[in-house]
Amino acid sequence: MKKILLLTDFSDNSLNAIEYATQLFKNEKCTFHIMHVHKIGGYTSSDLMYSNKDSVYDTFTKEPKNKLEALITSIQEKENNKNHIFEAHIDFDVFIDAIKQVIKAQEIDYVVMGTNGISGAREKLLGSNTKNVIKHIDCKTLIIPENYKFKPIKELLLPLDPKTDVKEETFTELLKFLEDYKLQFHILRVNPNEENAEKKHRDHVNLAIIKCKYHIVNNVPIDFALSTYLQTNPIDFMALFVHNEGIIEHVLSKSSTKITFSKITKPMLILHAK
């Protein structure tokens, strides 16, 4: 049984990500742990002084607990899926610490969350919570763009930057995901600053037993190469390997060697390179 952590702040964006996840895993036995990390700062001292509750904890948890229970009831009524079990979690810890604790305690397989991406003509950076999850949480993470509705996935693209090598220990989790969903696998190797025949040769050796469409692009910024590939191929899902060192640059930098996550309009499976 898969164990999946769904993060919610009760926004439309997070609810859309939850709906995507329940559809993606609809044919699998799953326990969905829906967690809201509550901000205590929203309460004043007078809220506590005049509270009729038995404890401060009750005061803090009543509203989010009711919202979580209502959300779970709504999901269960809508999908009516006997494969799925839902459990509610409320925490007041630091956001990332709360996630790490649940991942460890519940042996979580996937974390799922939404993010804003691009709204209209104005590009938005990923929210700080999303960036922190990408940077600090070493667990397979699904990031669902704003307003992206579920459709069966068929084609997955993995872009490779100059830092990422094709290695068995790195690819194990991704290959399992590809096998589970019977996906057509695309690999886009981008060398933004120069040609790299040696890396291309290593890729072909390491990918010899993997069925995939392999493309290599030289002397082109990664963002441009990725955008062009997404426009010219029927990609409906992406995988991205991130590196613990310098991950913030992947989000903020305009360097030709970095992928700007906020420009990606497809659901993403985030994996940490080993």
- The 10s digit of each residue's pLDDT in 179-201 is 999 999 999 999 988 888 888 88
Separation between Cα atoms, residue 16 and residue 19, nearest integer Å = 5
pLDDT of 189 reads: 94
Chain centre distance of CA 193 = 29
What integer is the mean pLDDT of 38-46? Answer: 56
What integer is the mean pLDDT of 148-164? Answer: 92
pLDDT of 127 reads: 63
- Give yes or no for residue 82 having a pLDDT over 70: yes
What is the per-residue pLDDT across 206-242, written as a single tens digit (0 to 9) for each? 888 889 999 999 998 888 899 999 999 999 999 998 8
What integer is the mean pLDDT of 32-55? Answer: 64
pLDDT of 218 reads: 92
Separation between Cα atoms, residue 106 and residue 194, nearest integer Å = 45
CATH superfamily of 2-145: HUPs (3.40.50.620)
- Give yes or no for residue 262 having a pLDDT over 90: no
Note the pTM of the prediction, 2 decimals: 0.86
What integer is the mean pLDDT of 257-270? Answer: 78
What is the per-residue pLDDT across 63-77, written as a single tens digit (0 to 9) for each? 888 999 999 999 999
- Give yes or no for residue 265 having a pLDDT over 60: yes
- Give yes or no for residue 132 having a pLDDT over 90: no
User: What SS3 class is residue 148?
Assistant: coil
Q: Is the dihedral of CA 174, 175, 178, 181 positive or negative?
A: negative
pLDDT exceeding 90 applies to what percent of the chain? Answer: 53
Return the minimum-mean-pLDDT range out of 108-112, 212-216, 260-264: 260-264
Confidence bin at 45 (pLDDT 50/70/90): very low
Q: CATH fold of 155-267, please? A: Rossmann fold (3.40.50)
Separation between Cα atoms, residue 137 and residue 17, nearest integer Å = 18
pLDDT exceeding 70 applies to what percent of the chain? Answer: 79
User: What residue ranges of the chain are covered by domains with CATH 3.40.50.620?
Assistant: 2-145, 155-267
- Give yes or no for residue 129 having a pLDDT over 90: no
Separation between Cα atoms, residue 54 and residue 58, nearest integer Å = 7
- Give yes or no for residue 250 having a pLDDT over 50: no
> For helices 12-24 and 56-79, what crossing angle results, to 10°?
50
Separation between Cα atoms, residue 129 and residue 251, nearest integer Å = 13
What is the per-residue pLDDT across 94-105, written as a single tens digit (0 to 9) for each? 889 999 999 999
- Give yes or no for residue 25 having a pLDDT over 60: yes
